[in-house]
Amino acid sequence: MAKKVTKIGVLTSGGDSPGMNAAIRAVVRTGNYYGLEVFGIMRGYSGIIDNDIVPMHSRSVANIIQRGGTILKTARCKEFFTPEGRQKAYNNLKKLGIDGLVIIGGDGSFRGADIFSREFDIPCIGLPGTIDKDIAGTDFTIGFDTAVNTAVEAIDKIRDTADAHDRLFIIEVMGRDAGYIALHSGIATGAEHILIPERKTDIEELVASLQEKERRKKLVNMVVVAEGDEFGGANEVAKVVKERLPTTDTRVCILGHIQRGGSPTCLDRLIASRMGYAAVESLLEGRHNVMVGILNNRMHYTLLERAVKSKQKISEEWIKIVKILAS
């Protein structure tokens, strides 16, 4: 029988994503509701090692649900991936009596949680907080919807100026290993081409298509590129296009970290709240070392070890949709 959890810690780790604050708020208030002591851990796993841990109450999370970023700060901690670092972290948690953790982050954060939990029998619950939507076991990750809407708004504005000047714009969005932001924002803005890491970039096919569009006097074209595209991102794609189509007015726009910030959308606030609530419920019910996700609008639980090994795959149907709608 799993031991009863009485004190829990919550932290945000890895890259920030809009909605993290909503998740923190849900964890704190749900924990308080059930009579648990809740502690906020600053700067991810670094905060456990440095003992930068503060008690949190209902008022600690007032007026944060609409804020981007994370009030607990976030960082990547190499020391936590050493046995000595994890031992130091465990000693600090033990002194405070913390016997459960909620980790809001991506697969790297979950990998650390899985190792830590196995070594020291600290139950951990993971919440998928990443704009990339690259974690299997959930239809949504916290922050993805906001990031996509930010990209869509920016690309819509770029199309206005592209149309005014008859330009080809090559727009780079975030997504080092996953092309979901490029895919969704590209389809939503009517991009003529979408280049993603999951699919081999055929630069000859792209150039031939742009030449055909130029022949048909279609002078306004948008190419959305994920930063992790195998060809090297927007600048590398643009270099080839400019060489092959010297008469085309080609411009590059890299959206960058604007996609990570900003007030979370309603969807991100809702899923973060549901996941935060479910994380505390899971600890109380003895469901440990899982990632909380949402599949088909129902809570879904994936073992942390499986969550870090699996990636959310882009279906061939999406690829076909892109090809047909851009023709």
Residues 167-191 pLDDT 10s? 899 999 998 888 999 999 999 999 9
Asked if residue 19 belongs to a known ligand binding site, the reply is no
Asked if 144 contacts 120 with a C-beta cutoff of 8 angstroms, the reply is no
CATH code, domain carrying 64? 3.40.50.450
Q: Report the pLDDT value the prediction gives residue 162, as an integer from 0 to 100.
A: 87
Sheet holding 290-295, edge to edge: 53-56, 37-41, 7-12, 100-105, 124-128, 290-295, 298-303
Q: What's the number of domains the chain is made of?
A: 2
Would you call 132 a catalytic residue per the annotation?
A: yes
Are residue 221 and residue 92 in the same domain, yes or no? no
Nearest to residue 222, comparing CAs of 147, 159, 173? 159
Residue 189 and residue 50 share a domain: no
In this prediction, residue 327 has a pLDDT band, given cuts at 50, 70 and 90, of low
Are residue 95 and residue 188 in the same domain, yes or no? no
pLDDT at site 199:
83
Is 29 in the same domain as 67? yes
59 is in an annotated binding site: no
Q: Which pLDDT score, from 0 to 100, does residue 2 have?
A: 57
Q: Are 110 and 309 a contacting pair, CB within 8 Å?
A: no
pTM above 0.85, yes or no: yes
The token pair that represents 39 in the structure block: 């502690």
pLDDT at 1: 43
In percent, the amount of the chain with pLDDT more than 90 equals: 69
Answer with the one of 222, 244, 260 that is the final residue of a domain: 260
DSSP character at residue 92:
H
Q: Characterize the bridge pairing of strands 100-105 and 298-303.
A: unpaired
302 assigned ligand-binding residue: no
In a domain, 321, yes or no: no
Say yes or no: 297 and 238 in one domain.
Answer: no
Q: Is residue 322 part of a domain?
A: no
List, in order, residues 6 or more apart from 35 with CB less than 8 Å away. none
At 255, which CATH number? 3.40.50.460
Segments forming the whole domain that contains residue 217: 145-260
Helices (H), 136-228: 144-165, 180-188, 203-215
Q: What backbone torsions phi and psi does residue 142 show, to the nearest 5 degrees?
A: -65, 120
Please check whether residue 2 lies inside any domain of the structure.
no
Q: What is the pLDDT of residues 245-287, one digit of tens each?
A: 898 889 999 999 999 999 999 999 999 999 999 999 999 999 8
For residue 294, give the 3-state DSSP assignment.
strand
What's the distance, CA 107 to chain centroid? 10
Nearest residue to 32 (alpha-carbon basis) of 51, 52, 57, 53: 57
For residue range 80-98, list pLDDT tens digits in order: 999 999 999 999 999 999 9
- DSSP designation for 58: G
Q: Which of 223, 218, 231 is nearest to 192 (CA)?
A: 223
**Burial, 132: exposed, middle or buried (Cβ in 10 Å; 0-12, 13-18, 19+)?**
buried
Catalytic residue among 132, 134, 145, 229: 132
Mean pLDDT of 47-59: 97
Strand partners, 224: 171, 194
pLDDT tens for 116-163 read 999 998 999 999 999 999 898 999 999 999 999 999 999 999 999 988
User: How does the average pLDDT of the chain come out, rounded?
Assistant: 92
| Residue 106, annotated as binding a ligand | yes
pLDDT digits (tens, 9 = 90+) for 305-323: 888 777 777 888 888 888 8
The verdict on whether residue 218 carries a ligand-binding annotation is: yes
